[in-house]
């Protein structure tokens, strides 16, 4: 994996792996063996052998283990991954080694022409709304629910989906408009959300920082009028110029619903999606 503290790739191995590896790292870190890889050299066979010996493998298994490790490192580098893991690495009854399961977490910072690159033309997008959203620089992923979400910030977007589910609803998408969304981007975001026929309500959750709440509120009002949005729109607003933003909404002549908290707004969105008031 990428070790951000040293800005190098580190190869880790442990006999005490599995689902509780974080607990092992905290309580018995000596059971996790590490080899830091020099970028100009790559993983060296002697480093892989050292890890294999520390794992207590039998002599006849060492070369097999080295082959697996060197292959894992090669795949890690060539796929531009941030983490690649074999878990578990097992021995069979005849003493052979076997890769049982593996997983990879990839970065999207460079275009490699593979599935890991969402901006690349080779990415096999299944949903046309995701393709359309990418043209507007919107981070959008379609889901199966009926409450559309428009949020600024990926972390807040995840929390918004969670609280919708907690309130008994189902999010229709992940949509992060970013910290400095323009009027045009807000309109584009609305168009994407309204293009999903499953959507019954729109939940806008904004924490104003770079994107001031009053500017967001004005953009929402204009987009709602321009696109003639008929679906219920529920908002939760906090941050810079929040009172001005709430005033703009209240004086717009549009029947927005504003929740004082995320939970209150989520409850309103769930009720609206179910046809309630």
Domain boundaries, the chain: 2-106, 128-273
Is pLDDT above 50 for 172? yes
C-alpha–C-alpha distance, residues 248 and 253, integer Å:
10
Is pLDDT above 70 for 262? yes
Which of 164-174 are b and which e, b meaning 16 or more Cβ less than 10 Å from the residue's Cβ?
Answer: beebebebbbb
Q: What is the pLDDT of residue 178?
A: 75
Is pLDDT above 70 for 202? yes
Is pLDDT above 50 for 226? yes
What DSSP letter does each residue of 20-84 carry, written as one string? THHHHHHH-GGGEEEEEEPTTT-S-HHHHHHHHHHTT--HHHHHHHHHHHHHHHHHHHHTTEEEE
Model pTM greater than 0.75?
Answer: no
- Helices and strands (DSSP H and E) totals, the chain: 9, 13
Class in CATH terms, 2-106: alpha beta
- The predicted model gives 259-276 an average pLDDT of 92
pLDDT band at 54 (very low <50, low <70, confident <90, very high): very high
- The predicted model gives 67-73 an average pLDDT of 90
The answer to whether the beta carbons of residues 118 and 108 sit under 8 Å apart is yes
pLDDT band at 20 (very low <50, low <70, confident <90, very high): low
- CATH fold label, 128-273: Rossmann fold (3.40.50)
What token pair was written down for 211?
A: 């994107």
What token pair was written down for 155?
A: 């972390």
C-alpha–C-alpha distance, residues 146 and 198, integer Å:
5
pLDDT band at 81 (very low <50, low <70, confident <90, very high): confident
The answer to whether the beta carbons of residues 103 and 87 sit under 8 Å apart is yes
Is pLDDT above 80 for 196? yes
Q: What is the pLDDT of residue 112?
A: 47
C-alpha–C-alpha distance, residues 14 and 12, integer Å:
7
Q: What is the pLDDT of residue 249?
A: 94
Selected residue with higher pLDDT from 174 and 179: 174
Name which of 19-28, 79-88, 162-171, 222-231 the model is least confident about. 19-28
C-alpha–C-alpha distance, residues 146 and 232, integer Å:
12
Closest by CA to 119, choosing from 132, 108, 104, is 108
pLDDT band at 123 (very low <50, low <70, confident <90, very high): very low
pLDDT band at 126 (very low <50, low <70, confident <90, very high): low
Beta partners for residue 174, in sequence order: 141
Closest by CA to 177, choosing from 166, 195, 192, 165, is 192
Is pLDDT above 50 for 124? no
Q: What percent of the chain has pLDDT over 90?
A: 43
What token pair was written down for 34?
A: 């590490």
């Amino acid at each position: 994996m990428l070790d951000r503290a040293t800005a190098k790739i580190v190869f880790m191995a442990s006999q005490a792996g599995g689902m509780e590896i974080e607990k092992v790292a905290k309580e018995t870190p000596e059971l996790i063996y590490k080899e830091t890889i020099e970028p100009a050299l790559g993983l060296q066979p002697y480093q892989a052998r050292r890890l294999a010996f520390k794992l207590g493998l039998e002599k006849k298994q060492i070369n097999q283990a080295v082959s697996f490790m060197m292959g894992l490192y090669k795949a890690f580098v060539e796929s531009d991954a941030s983490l690649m893991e074999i878990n578990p690495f097992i021995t069979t009854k005849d003493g052979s080694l076997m890769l049982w399961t593996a997983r990879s977490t990839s970065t999207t910072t460079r275009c490699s022409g593979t599935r890991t690159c969402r901006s690349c033309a080779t990415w096999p997008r299944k949903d046309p709304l995701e393709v359309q959203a990418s043209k507007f620089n919107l981070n959008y992923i379609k889901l199966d629910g009926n409450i559309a979400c428009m949020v600024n910030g990926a972390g807040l977007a995840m929390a918004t989906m969670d609280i919708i589910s907690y309130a008994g609803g189902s999010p229709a998408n992940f949509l992060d408009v970013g910290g400095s969304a323009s009027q045009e981007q807000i309109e584009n975001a609305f168009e994407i959300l309204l293009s999903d026929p499953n959507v019954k309500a729109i939940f806008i959750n904004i924490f104003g920082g770079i994107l001031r709440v009053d500017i967001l509120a004005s953009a929402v009002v204009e987009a709602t009028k321009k696109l003639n949005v008929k679906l219920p729109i529920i908002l939760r607003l906090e941050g810079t110029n929040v009172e001005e933003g709430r005033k703009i909404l209240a004086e717009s002549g549009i029947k927005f619903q504003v929740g004082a908290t995320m939970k209150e707004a989520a409850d309103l969105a769930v009720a609206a999606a179910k046809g309630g008031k």
